[in-house]
Amino acid sequence: IMRIQAIMAKSGKVSYYITSLVDISERKELEEKLRNLSERDGLTNLWNRRKFEEQLAQHANMLERYPNTPTTCLALFDIDHFKRINDEMGHDEGDRVICSVAETLLSGVRNTDFVARVGGEEFAVLMPHTTIQEAEVVLNRLRVAVELSGDGSVTVSVGYSDLTADRTRSYKCADIALYESKSAGRNRVSICHSFDDIA
């Protein structure tokens, strides 16, 4: 921070200036650390639910303001039989699985996509400028990548929807699709369109 102070002469004119410089690098680093702590998941270093909600609202607001914006898709991932992993192999193994899935998801999407851990073993992905058909291809690729990244014992179920200005409904649609994947035997991708009757 640079501060400049004018020193006035008796005549009322500026006699000279005093400039002081203060190094605020440490303060800025601390601010950045605190911001990261408030927006990042401690285990996976992915974005957290708070940051996801913020991004979801931002995308929904853009769609409300600019309805002809290209499609954004919202996907929810859930690790299959996660309770069994924790119960049979311990929480350390559960944490390792969560981190492995997080890494696979992050490395399998574009840098314009947004990946967050939104719950214990649940992840959300926002994919701007992505049609329903394109999203299905990407999500199936991610689902297979998770299965191949371990010994085949870890799989994910996926539900997705196209995002609308009504973000609550969009999330519910993706959640319904996720439930469909779970009910149909897990390790699959299901869709619930924004125009579907979800009662």
Here the tokens at position 57 are 């609202």
List 121, 122, 134, 147, catalytic entry = 121
Is 121 an active-site residue? Answer: yes
Which sequence positions are flagged as catalytic? 121
